[in-house]
Amino acid sequence: MSGSAAAITNMARLLLHGVGSLLPRLSASHHLYTVTLLPHTLHRHFTYAATLLAERKYTEKHEWVAVEDNIGTIGITNYAQESLGDIVYAQLPEVDAEYEQMEECGALESVKAASELYSPVSGKVTAVNTAVEDQPSLINQSCYDEGWLFKLELTVPAEIDELMDEDAYKKFLKESEQ
Amino acid sequence: MMSLRNIANMSLNIPLRAVVGGTNLLGSGTNLSNTGIVGCATNVGTQDSSRIPFNRGVFISQSTNIYSNLAFEDWLYKNWSFEKRNVMFIWQNSPCVVIGRHQNPYVEANLQYLESAGVPVVRRNSGGGAVYHDEGNLNCTFFTTRDRYNRKENLEVICQALQEDFGIQAHVNHRDDIIIGQDFKVSGTAAKLGRQSAYHHCTLLVRTNKQQMKLALQGDKNIQSKATASIPALVMNLHDANEDISVQKLISSIGRKYLESSTKGIDASSQQMYQLSNGYTLINPTDDWFPGLAKVEAELSSYSWLHNKTPRFTITRPVTVPECVAHNTTVNIAVQVYHGKVEDVKIASQDVCPDVADLINEIGGALKGSQYTPAIFNDLASRMRLPQPLRNQRSVM
């Protein structure tokens, strides 16, 4: 295995190990699924997402929001999709619905558990990702790209500044792994 | 409900806490863990905050109304903090079918049969599949903080109770079902996870009417849907494994195991102290005791909650074209429904004569946006007999 591929696989193992120590056990088959897919998503993450990375902000509940022209695109982080397991249904908010920051706006169902989705910022929903309604596994496979959940028009743009940036989120993940 | 009180009292040998009054339970603003309706001592000795909470309560519902019980479960989840205390809620219902949050009632249940039998079909807030409840079925809901959510741990409590008190060998499979004997399922699990709190609930087949269950859960399989599907399994009643078992005995057995398990690994004197402060509480789930409950109940029993939360699905049925329109013709019609409303009406047969096709498409267009009911297929056929503009009239729904 080449040096960079080894590094990626090690990162993948660390992430998995961290998740495993905190949460209900993932099935053995799921472990395999994630290990083979993770290097691929990381690769895509690095190649095209240089500017996207800079714009993405994170919440403590493992959601991300990327703002452009006051429209925020929202999704869940890799940590979240891993801990949920295979997502079988995405219950997304309705277009034109308005939410306050941290208000419940939908749910993701996986392994018989319906996990609530919270809006990381206040706003009005402008679009939902219908691809994910038809194929919820997109969220597991590509949580930062094709697995985006919904877009909203920010009503309180200052809220973005309160959220964590990439480095702060990585630090937050490390600290919670204890 | 005196019998429940007696059983709980006798089996645990500790003073029974009062039936829950509504006066202590306020809206979400109050942290209730210290006002303890069960009077739990929350600062016994030097309690290390990182250890599991030793304070536990068992709530037993006095109602067999599915709407009240589900509403109470939701109320507790939204209005309580489980930082300092875990709660197990035990409840039973008169006959009903409960489907998961993202399921399709048409696929999961025989709605026509259930309507004629007066058996309600209810959508719950947690995920998972469809179940049939009656008085021979026991439900247990385990409430914890989001961090302490652990299904296996909860199911182990039940398995231990079954093993130690009734000699039934049960184990938990990879799907978090409880299995006994030759792979027979006696319990299914579902859960809901929020920011602060989470709950995991499961059923237990003690002495359910399996024939009714089978009839009730026979849904319409000619539906293409993105809804979460139920996984069928071979089931059996616990009573078949041990004739001595009954719902009442199981309640006290599981309750005892749950309360005892909080004190594992502590010294004997502290153990006794915790056991004195933990206990059973009988719950009367009404709006008087729990303000706001009636509102949740009303939503759960509404037509819109059951039907308009259904994920997109397509149902295809053959429709016989009226003789006055075409001779001896049957066309397959596919109706696409989203959140209970008709989204699209398409012809799913080949070689349909253009006149009939046009007629169907015209009427189909008029039906878009209306509330879906299975009667739509007959409605379509009847409208074909009518002249314009009657056949395109929007139905009043």
Residue B279: per-residue pLDDT: 81
**Could A104 and B194 be called an inter-chain contact, meaning their C-beta atoms sit closer than 8 Å?**
yes
Q: How far is CA A123 from the centre of its chain?
A: 19
Domains belonging to chain B, first-starting first, are 4-307 (3.30.930.10), 313-391 (3.30.390)
**Could B102 and A109 be called an inter-chain contact, meaning their C-beta atoms sit closer than 8 Å?**
yes
* Residue B50 neighbours by CB under 8 Å, 6+ apart: none
pTM of the model: 0.78
* Interval B116-147: pLDDT, tens: 999 999 999 999 999 999 999 999 999 999 98
Q: Describe the crossing of helices B247-261 and B2-12 by its angle, rounded to 10 degrees.
A: 40
| Among the partner residues B195, B226, B228, nearest to A116 by beta-carbon distance | B195
State how far the alpha carbon of B38 is from the alpha carbons of A12, A165, B7, B67, in Å: 46, 44, 18, 25
Mutate to test the interface with A, among B146, B228, B308, B313 (most CBs of A within 10 A): B228
State how far the alpha carbon of B249 is from the alpha carbons of A27, B3, B17, B202, in Å: 34, 11, 20, 18
Mean pLDDT calculated for residue range B22-37: 33
What single string gives the DSSP state of each residue in B53-71?
P-EEEEEEES---HHHHHH
Q: Describe the crossing of helices B247-261 and B151-166 by its angle, rounded to 10 degrees.
A: 120
| Among the partner residues A25, A89, A112, nearest to B190 by beta-carbon distance | A112
Residue B18: per-residue pLDDT: 39
* Interval B283-294: pLDDT, tens: 999 999 999 999
CB atoms inside a 10 Å sphere around CB B103: 28
Size of interface A-B (CB pairs under 8 A): 65
d(CA A15, CA A12): 5
Burial of A141 (0-12, 13-18, 19+ CB in 10 A): middle
| Among the partner residues B101, B174, B176, nearest to A109 by beta-carbon distance | B101
| CB of A168 closer than 8 Å to CB of A61 | no
* Interval A59-111: pLDDT, tens: 998 999 999 888 999 999 999 999 888 999 999 999 999 999 999 999 999 98
